[in-house]
Amino acid sequence: METANQNIYPITRKVNKNGNIEIGGCDLIELANKYSTPLYVYDEATIRSITKSYKDAFKSYPNINMMFAAKAFMTKAICKIMEEEGFGLDLCSGGEIYTAKSSGFDMSKTLFNGNNKSFDELNLAIESGVRTISVDNFFELALLNNIAKSSNKTVRILLRITPGIECHTHEYIQTGHLDSKFGFDLTQLDEAIELIKDEYTNLNLVGLHAHIGSQIFEKKVYFDEVDVIFKEIKRIRDKYSITLSEINLGGGLGIKYTESDKPISIYEIAETIIESVEKHAKEYNIESPLIFIEPGRSIVGTSGVTLYTAGSSKQVPKGRKYQAVDGGMSDNARPSLYQAKYTVEIANNPNGEANEKVTIAGRHCESGDILAKDIMLPEIEEGDTICFYTTGAYGYSMSSNYNRVLKPAAVLVNNGKSDIIINRQTYEQLCESDVIPDKFI
């Protein structure tokens, strides 16, 4: 069964009677005029469709929790949607913890993840009622135990491991292979467990956590991941008489950015994971564990588009034509960071003949600020609204104020109505943290 992550467009996308692209019942040109550009636009129906697909795909396994990987796109409004859809939150910073708590989210449905959590962040997690902390390294084990001990609390933990599985994705987003900054190597696991048993008595080890990467198009790697985790659970049970009842398999399911991408469906990975869990539980005589799945990109990526306004252009003699827009690497770092590719349309001329090769250039003082290279589009006129699809994940999350450019607004669209979920930054807000030393006054 096809799921929304296998499509480039949000599920409500259409061309309306005015010849403009419409998403969530809202004309993108009207949105650009009302809210200005650059503008992040999120289709609520697509987000909810994907969360429902995840729940439906895994419904045959009775003991599973869905966690949204908040790093993909974290706002108070998204927290509300995830809570309504029955998802927990996988958090990886104090800021994400604070956002979740301040939105009113049930913190007993959260997990704190990350490779270099600070004292303040771990303390905030405990004080905020985060359910479980995924511990990444020996330094964190000792630090977390000291914090828990001083608070006279016992903290539930998972140990994050690197399972040694390498998926075919960009080098920067592979997290499960052996040479990774994340997690305990399997050869270090016994030392960690012995410390927890003998010294770190304020830590309650309940399971293992692994993550094999992002933008994954293969289903076999999920089977292999479960295999590695169950072998460790059995070995730990046999050696230490410790029964681990929870496993976190991470997320990483890919989405379709361009026609060349061929992601698998949510149902395919669910079938693979459930088959592998049931096989290994039976083989090793292990009671079926509570499974956590933490998708991020595949939940919000397809739902989001980014709108820009076309500005200046430049035709290099016997070379490229550059078309500049009013945003760039400050609102979407992925093309510069990962050489990511996107599907692009002119929102006010989606059906025009794509007869011109152009390179969409950002507005920043960087030669590498290129959003899309050598793509075919209808001839662009100054003032046209340019729409980049599948920008819902890691656009706003990785945004910056490079060149002191303001961060864009974000709107949620549904049934013809648009709601602001992030206000456009103002110049006053941009400068509010600046301080002039007294010696200059």
Whether pLDDT at 240 is above 90: yes
What pLDDT is attached to residue 177? 43
Residue with tokens 């992601």: 263
> Residues 25-48: what's their mean pLDDT?
98
> Residues 52-75: what's their mean pLDDT?
97
CA distance linking residue 168 with residue 143, whole number of Å: 35
Structure tokens at 106: 């049930």
Tell me the chain's radius of gyration from C-alpha atoms.
Answer: 23
Structure tokens at 437: 């030393």
Mention every residue, 6+ apart, whose C-beta is less than 8 A from residue 420.
35, 409, 410, 411
> Which pLDDT tens digit goes with each residue over 130-174?
999 999 999 999 999 999 999 999 999 999 999 876 544 433 333
Average pLDDT, the chain: 95
What pLDDT is attached to residue 171? 38
pLDDT band at 179 (very low <50, low <70, confident <90, very high): low
What pLDDT is attached to residue 178? 53
Structure tokens at 90: 């996988």
Residue with tokens 């990483």: 252
4-42+301-431 CATH, one of 2.40.37.10, 3.30.43.10, 1.10.540.10, 3.60.70.12: 2.40.37.10
> Residues 203-226: what's their mean pLDDT?
94
Half-sphere exposure (CA, 13 Å, Cβ side) for 306? 30
What pLDDT is attached to residue 174? 38
> Residues 92-116: what's their mean pLDDT?
97
Domain coordinates in residue numbering, the chain: 4-42+301-431, 44-300
Whether pLDDT at 330 is above 50: yes
> Which pLDDT tens digit goes with each residue over 246-280?
999 999 999 999 999 999 999 999 999 999 999 99
> Residues 312-341: what's their mean pLDDT?
96
CA distance linking residue 276 with residue 395, whole number of Å: 34
Q: Identify the weakest region by mean pLDDT among 11-20, 164-173, 232-241, 304-313.
A: 164-173
Report which of residues 146 and 175 the model is more confident about.
146
CA distance linking residue 303 with residue 130, whole number of Å: 28
What pLDDT is attached to residue 376? 98
Cβ contact 401:331 at 8 Å: no
Q: Identify the weakest region by mean pLDDT among 80-94, 163-177, 366-380.
A: 163-177
Whether pLDDT at 193 is above 80: yes
The whole-angstrom distance between residue 56's C-alpha and the CA centroid of its chain comes to 21
What pLDDT is attached to residue 176? 42
CA distance linking residue 253 with residue 238, whole number of Å: 33
Q: Which of 35, 101, 50 is nearest to 74 (CA)?
A: 101
Catalytic sites, residue numbers = 365
Mention every residue, 6+ apart, whose C-beta is less than 8 A from residue 54.
66, 266, 270, 293, 295, 299
> Residues 361-378: what's their mean pLDDT?
97
What pLDDT is attached to residue 146? 97
What pLDDT is attached to residue 234? 97
Can you spell out the DSSP letters for 382-413?
A: TTPEEEE-S-SSSSSTT---GGGPPPPEEEEE
pLDDT band at 182 (very low <50, low <70, confident <90, very high): confident
Any idea which fold 44-300 has? TIM Barrel (3.20.20)
Asked if domains 4-42+301-431 and 44-300 share a fold, the reply is: no
Question: What is the dihedral sign for C-alpha 97, 99, 105, 109?
Answer: negative
pLDDT band at 181 (very low <50, low <70, confident <90, very high): confident
- 376-383's contacts with Cβ under 8 Å and 24+ in sequence apart are 377/344, 377/345, 377/346, 378/346, 378/349, 378/352, 378/353, 378/354, 379/352, 379/355, 380/310, 380/313, 380/323, 380/346, 380/356, 381/310, 382/310, 382/311, 382/312, 382/313, 383/309, 383/310
